[in-house]
């Protein structure tokens, strides 16, 4: 067993110029360094070779899709996938002795990085109301305690069940079934903070919340937009797909306030040209957009397309497609023709010439795909922005055919699958009816709480029990101080987790840590070894089978914990066969196949190489909106605006972190080493604001004329971000995000476009 470092790392910042390319040999060596430090060579090698292979382990990193079975590389993973898997496969262990040594208060002062470095959780622990330490508890007593608290509630709606997108389909299905048979739709999830805006916008306009493209489509597109995403760090194998597309002649347009390395050039570590040569240029055009300017960009572009049609009637728009498949075109066209160019140019920070050049690229392209991620979804106008992207795709019929479509690039490896399984506080009646028919109970119909509303309810004392299944809610959520306060007001907080994180240290009166198997580990139940299934960003559902011996013999799987909890809580109130589900995950999949359209005959079809691709109605020419057609929409906007002396801050990921968990203090592609307490500011703004490189500043967010939120001691790094915009890492900056600052319609927290001021840090003299 490796020993974790006992002290926090010393912070010491060095800055080098940002990289102009991503992946290549350094990526391979960095992945290996991390593997060797975290695990034995053998464990690392064993897991990596089966990763993303047919019948192997699905990478627990992002939701990017695998190539079809015959086209997979022997090393079908990226540097970061290797880091994520080894972070779970670590040989470091947290035992009861660790919790005897460290009080909850002390652990609460530790950094996210340090907590994660301590290793895997190995036995159930409880923190009692009068104690500041976790102590061991048996599974029987832990689940009895949790079930007892749930049964004692005045209403099932006094409990919330949070999930993060690493949870398998089987566990997600069991969780929502438990919550609903218990009587609540309070199922907030990480998706509320991730692609909720995409779901709302796509559902409204196309009648389905999911992306429409496959890897094949990307390979055969003529033009691909990458809007608000950093694939070099967050979806590295997307770069292989883009390289493939470029080989087939595709052009790529990147839209981003930061010139991210992976958007510029890619050196594929899987081929000779990538390892030894210059690699492939990714973006043919880079639009250095202002924060929140994407809605204006697509509106400007749409106006230019309408004008091109005026100039050459019948040659630009897909008239037949628009006539037979869409509704609302005339009104949309009137609206877009009325927008003011000055507003578009101010909002985007681009020139008209730059946008006209994009129009020309579009006019030359038969097949267009738009990819987007958090730079779009975490903005106040995220939903109207994505609707405008849909308008853009509809104008030239870039939906429902090969090589074209909408590609929201999902985050967690199974975040999309969890939604398919019913993890949503507002599942449609069709799903609830199917549950009712299958299991013979009345699922609650009133919408439950999403993440933001759950925090409000906890804060107001309306929630007594919080159960988190994976994830790190207190760090993922906005307004850290408010969220922590909200958690502390619960009677019981419990987490089903693989590793220690801040959420375990911010406790209700009583707190439970329920340690669980990770995806890399063998899962053996009464009927034998089990596999689980997951769904990637391209709606492909496939198996994942763990290979490693569990981190401790005491661990239970997520499915087992949830089934036992359900049985103890509901005690014969339903006829749901929890014991059978626990012993045979195939029995869960059988039930899923009766409920989820497209997953019929689930058990038989999912074990075929490549698994099952869920049908997307749009690709069959069907738009299940209330009018049966795709909708053009009119999207008004207010410009994102920072008052004089302020900047628009985005909170984002470094190359070396998994969401709320930093792996190191480095962000190699951006040239940041040794510290995460940095704020990236355009050099012009550094001068304009009277700041200096390396100066320590406090970040102060300003909201609605009300209370200010502050976080101290960030080093100023001059960086080529768009003027007026700044960037700093999440989750350290979540304290700045006001709970009420949400995307309109989707209620998604705005982790991008926060108005901040930079104030010189006053050094304490004590
Ligand atoms: N290694 C690693 N991989 C991950 C994750 C991780 O933490 N680490 N997290 C996973 C998860 S859950 C998710 S959701 C995804 C997230 O993947 P990304 O969406 O790539 O994540 P962010 O780091 O938030 O980066 C946002 C990008 O949007 C840009 N941006 C910010 N504001 C704007 C804007 O107004 N307009 C435009 N056009 N661009 C903007 C930023 O400069 C940045 O490049 O990654 C997944 N993959
Ligand atoms: N400011 C700001 N805030 C953000 C974002 C942002 O860009 N900026 N991004 C948002 C987004 S896109 C997302 S998705 C959320 C992420 O929010 P979450 O999904 O809640 O957070 P993670 O950091 O992925 O959770 C890590 C923890 O998951 C647990 N875990 C890992 N693997 C497993 C497993 O197999 N089983 C179980 N049971 N537990 C496991 C470990 O204990 C680990 O500590 O954060 C959101 N918050
Ligand atoms: S691209 Fe995503 S899914 Fe693929 S190996 Fe890398 S982290 Fe894992
Ligand atoms: Mo995410």
Encode pLDDT of 615-629 as tens digits.
999 999 999 999 999
| Same domain assignment for residues 601 and 521 | yes
Residue 163 lies in a domain: yes
| Same domain assignment for residues 326 and 397 | yes
| Same domain assignment for residues 381 and 240 | yes
Q: Give me the pLDDT at residue 8, please.
A: 81
Residue 672 has pLDDT above 50, yes or no: yes
| Same domain assignment for residues 173 and 224 | no
* 708-718 and 630-631 strand pairing: unpaired
Domain limit, last residue, from 355, 386, 408? 408
| Same domain assignment for residues 324 and 420 | no
Q: Give me the pLDDT at residue 29, please.
A: 64
- CA–CA gap between residue 216 and residue 640 (Å, rounded): 36
**Degrees, nearest 5: CA angle 530-535-541:** 70
Mutate to test the pocket of ligand 1, among 85, 193, 260, 373 (most ligand atoms within 8 A of CB): 373
Q: Which of 29-43, 169-183, 563-577, 593-607 has the lowest mean pLDDT?
A: 29-43
Residue 395 lies in a domain: yes
Domain CATH for 661: 2.40.40.20
Closest residue CA from atom 7 of ligand 3:
81
Q: Of 223, 195, 220, give the one whose Cα is nearest residue 210.
A: 195
Q: 185-215: buried (b, 16+ CB within 10 Å) or exposed (e) per residue?
A: bbbbbbbbbbbbbbbbbbebbbbbbbbbbbb
**Degrees, nearest 5: CA angle 281-286-289:** 155
Domain CATH for 210: 3.40.228.10
Encode pLDDT of 226-264 as tens digits.
999 999 999 999 999 999 999 999 999 999 999 999 999
Closest residue CA from atom 4 of ligand 1:
234
Residues 6 or more apart whose CB falls under 8 angstroms from that of 419 comprise 189, 191, 199, 209
Residue 75 has pLDDT above 80, yes or no: no
Structure tokens at 457: 């309810």
Mutate to test the pocket of ligand 2, among 557, 659, 661 (most ligand atoms within 8 A of CB): 659
Nearest-10 crossing angle of helices 41-50, 79-88: 120
Q: Give me the pLDDT at residue 172, please.
A: 98
Q: Give me the pLDDT at residue 23, please.
A: 77
**Contact criterion met (CB below 8 Å) for 468 and 495:** yes
**Degrees, nearest 5: CA angle 299-304-306:** 95
Secondary structure class of 498 (helix, strand, coil): coil
- CA–CA gap between residue 535 and residue 418 (Å, rounded): 8
Residue 65 lies in a domain: no
Number of domains within the chain: 3
Residues 6 or more apart whose CB falls under 8 angstroms from that of 363 comprise 305, 308, 316
Mutate to test the pocket of ligand 2, among 497, 503, 679, 728 (most ligand atoms within 8 A of CB): 497
Residue 96 lies in a domain: no
Q: Of 193, 596, 595, 188, give the one whose Cα is nearest residue 424.
A: 188
Question: Ligand 4 centre from 350 Cα, in Å?
Answer: 28
pLDDT band at 275 (very low <50, low <70, confident <90, very high): low
Mean pLDDT of 495-513: 98
Residue 682 lies in a domain: yes
| Same domain assignment for residues 586 and 702 | no
**Degrees, nearest 5: CA angle 520-199-471:** 35
Mean pLDDT of 531-535: 98
Q: State if residue 502 touches ligand 2 by the CB under 6 angstroms criterion.
A: no
Structure tokens at 136: 């061991």
Q: Give me the pLDDT at residue 568, please.
A: 98
pLDDT band at 2 (very low <50, low <70, confident <90, very high): low
**Residues shown for the chain:** 766
Encode pLDDT of 544-554 as tens digits.
999 999 999 99
| Same domain assignment for residues 243 and 182 | no
| Same domain assignment for residues 441 and 564 | yes
Structure tokens at 135: 């102590």
Query: Is the bond leading into 573 cis (omega within 30 degrees of zero)?
Result: no
- Residue matched to tokens 């049966």: 628
Q: Give me the pLDDT at residue 763, please.
A: 79
Atom of ligand 2 nearest to the CA of 516: 38
The residue that leads in pLDDT, 750 or 75, is 750
Mean pLDDT of 130-145: 98
Residue 160 lies in a domain: yes
Q: Give me the pLDDT at residue 503, please.
A: 98
**Degrees, nearest 5: CA angle 519-475-666:** 80
pLDDT band at 25 (very low <50, low <70, confident <90, very high): low
Domain limit, last residue, from 378, 408, 438? 408
Closest residue CA from atom 31 of ligand 1:
375
| Same domain assignment for residues 226 and 331 | yes
Ligand 1 binding residues, C-beta < 6 A: 61-62, 80, 194, 227-230, 233-235, 255-258, 260, 289, 291-292, 294, 373-375, 379, 411-412, 650, 652-653, 657-659, 752
The DSSP secondary structure of 434-452, one letter per residue, reads HHHHHH-S----S----HH
Closest residue CA from atom 5 of ligand 3:
77
Question: Ligand 1 centre from 158 Cα, in Å?
Answer: 33
Encode pLDDT of 476-493 as tens digits.
999 999 999 999 999 999
Residue 100 lies in a domain: no
Residues 6 or more apart whose CB falls under 8 angstroms from that of 118 comprise 4, 92, 94, 98, 499, 500
Q: Of 674, 615, 650, 617, give the one whose Cα is nearest residue 722.
A: 650
Share of the chain above pLDDT 90, in %: 86
* 405-408 and 368-372 strand pairing: parallel
Q: State if residue 162 touches ligand 2 by the CB under 6 angstroms criterion.
A: no
Residue 436 has pLDDT above 80, yes or no: yes
CA distances from 350 to 295, 342, 358, 527, 644 (A): 13, 11, 11, 61, 20
Q: Give me the pLDDT at residue 78, please.
A: 87
Structure tokens at 1: 């067993």
Residue 585 lies in a domain: yes
| Same domain assignment for residues 553 and 683 | no
CA distances from 737 to 218, 352, 379, 733 (A): 35, 33, 12, 8
Q: 291-317: buried (b, 16+ CB within 10 Å) or exposed (e) per residue?
A: bbbbbbbbbbbbbbbbebbeeeeeebb
Question: Ligand 2 centre from 278 Cα, in Å?
Answer: 35
As a whole number of Å, the CA-based R_g of the chain is 25
Domain CATH for 160: 3.40.50.740
Mutate to test the pocket of ligand 3, among 31, 35, 80 (most ligand atoms within 8 A of CB): 80
Q: Of 666, 184, 256, 235, give the one whose Cα is nearest residue 454.
A: 184
| Domain range for 689 | 647-760
Ligand nearest to the CA of 175: 2
Write the burial class of residue 173 (CB in 10 Å: 0-12 exposed, 13-18 middle, 19+ buried). buried
Q: State if residue 606 touches ligand 2 by the CB under 6 angstroms criterion.
A: no
Strand partners, 515: 497
Domain limit, last residue, from 388, 408, 428? 408
Q: Give me the pLDDT at residue 766, please.
A: 47
Q: State if residue 677 touches ligand 2 by the CB under 6 angstroms criterion.
A: no
Q: Which of 111-115, 347-351, 639-643 has the lowest mean pLDDT?
A: 639-643
Q: Of 322, 327, 338, 385, give the one whose Cα is nearest residue 632.
A: 327
- CA–CA gap between residue 350 and residue 342 (Å, rounded): 11
| Same domain assignment for residues 712 and 750 | yes
| Same domain assignment for residues 169 and 208 | no
Mean pLDDT of 587-605: 98
| C-alpha torsion sign, points 162, 163, 164, 165 | negative
């Amino acid at each position: 067993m490796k020993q974790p470092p006992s002290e926090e790392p010393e912070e010491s910042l060095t800055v080098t110029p940002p990289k102009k390319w991503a992946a290549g040999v350094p990526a391979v060596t960095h992945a290996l360094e991390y593997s060797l430090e975290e695990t034995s060579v053998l464990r690392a090698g064993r897991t990596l070779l089966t990763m993303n292979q047919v019948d192997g382990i699905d990478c627990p990193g992002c939701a990017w899709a695998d190539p079809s079975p015959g086209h997979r590389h022997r090393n079908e993973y990226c540097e970061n996938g290797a880091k994520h898997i080894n972070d779970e496969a670590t040989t470091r262990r947290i035992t009861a002795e660790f919790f005897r040594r460290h009080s909850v208060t002390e652990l609460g002062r530790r950094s996210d990085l340090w907590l994660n470095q301590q290793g895997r959780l190995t036995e159930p622990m409880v923190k009692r109301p009068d104690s500041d330490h976790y102590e061991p508890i048996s599974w029987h007593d832990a689940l009895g305690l949790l079930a007892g608290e749930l049964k004692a509630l005045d209403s099932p709606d006094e409990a919330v069940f949070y999930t993060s997108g690493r949870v398998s389909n089987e566990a997600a299905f069991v969780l929502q079934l438990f919550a609903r048979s218990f009587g609540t739709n309070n199922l907030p999830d990480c998706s509320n903070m991730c692609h909720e805006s995409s779901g709302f916008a796509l559902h409204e306009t196309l009648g389905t919340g999911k992306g429409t493209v496959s890897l094949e489509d990307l390979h055969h597109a003529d033009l691909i937009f990458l809007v608000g995403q950093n694939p070099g760090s967050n979806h590295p194998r997307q770069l292989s797909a883009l390289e493939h597309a470029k080989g087939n002649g595709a052009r790529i347009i990147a839209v981003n306030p930061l010139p991210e390395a992976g958007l510029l050039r890619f050196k594929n570590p899987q081929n000779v040209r990538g390892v030894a040569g210059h690699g492939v240029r990714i973006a043919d055009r880079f639009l250095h957009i202002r924060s929140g300017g994407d809605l204006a960009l697509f509106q400007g572009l749409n106006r230019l397309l309408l004008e091109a049609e005026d100039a050459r009637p019948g040659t630009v728009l897909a008239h037949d497609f628009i006539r037979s498949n869409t509704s609302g075109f005339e009104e949309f066209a009137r609206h877009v023709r009325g927008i003011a160019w000055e507003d578009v140019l101010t909002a985007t920070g681009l020139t008209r010439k730059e946008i006209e050049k994009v129009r020309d690229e579009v006019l030359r392209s038969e097949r267009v795909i738009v990819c987007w991620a958090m730079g779009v979804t975490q903005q106040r106008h995220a939903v109207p922005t994505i609707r405008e992207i849909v308008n853009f795709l509809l104008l030239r019929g870039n939906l429902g055919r090969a090589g074209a479509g909408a590609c929201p690039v999902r985050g967690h490896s199974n975040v999309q699958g969890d939604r398919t399984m019913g993890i949503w506080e507002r599942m449609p009646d069709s799903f609830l009816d199917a549950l009712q028919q299958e299991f013979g109970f009345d699922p609650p119909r009133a919408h439950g709480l999403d993440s933001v509303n759950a925090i409000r309810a906890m804060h107001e004392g309306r929630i007594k029990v919080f159960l988190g299944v994976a994830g790190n809610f207190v760090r993922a959520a906005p307004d850290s101080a408010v969220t922590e306060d909200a958690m502390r007001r619960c009677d019981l907080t419990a987490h089903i987790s693989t590793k220690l994180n801040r959420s375990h240290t911010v406790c209700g009166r009583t707190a439970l840590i329920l340690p669980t198997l990770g995806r890399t580990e063998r899962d053996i139940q009464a009927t034998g070894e089990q596999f689980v299934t997951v769904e990637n960003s391209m709606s492909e559902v496939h198996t994942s089978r763990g290979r490693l011996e569990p981190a401790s013999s005491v661990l239970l799987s997520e499915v087992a914990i949830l089934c036992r909890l359900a049985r103890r809580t509901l005690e014969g109130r339903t006829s749901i066969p929890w014991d059978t589900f626990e012993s045979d995950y195939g029995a869960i999949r059988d039930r899923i196949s009766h409920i989820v359209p497209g997953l019929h005959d689930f058990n038989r079809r999912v074990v075929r190489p490549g698994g099952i691709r869920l049908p997307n109605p749009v690709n069959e020419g069907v738009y299940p909106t209330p009018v049966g057609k795709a909708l053009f929409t009119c999207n008004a906007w207010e410009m994102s605006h920072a008052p004089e002396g302020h900047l628009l801050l985005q909170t984002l990921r470094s190359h070396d972190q998994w969401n709320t968990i930093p792996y190191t203090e480095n962000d190699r592609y951006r040239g940041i080493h040794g510290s995460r307490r940095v704020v990236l500011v355009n050099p012009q703004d550094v001068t304009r604001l009277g700041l200096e490189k390396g100066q320590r500043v406090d970040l102060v967010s300003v909201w609605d004329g009300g209370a200010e939120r502050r976080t101290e001691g960030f080093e100023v790094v001059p960086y080529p971000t768009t003027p007026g915009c700044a960037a700093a890492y999440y989750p350290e900056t979540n304290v700045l995000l006001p709970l009420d600052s949400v995307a309109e319609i989707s209620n998604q927290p705005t982790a991008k476009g926060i108005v901040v001021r930079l104030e010189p840090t006053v050094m304490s003299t004590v």
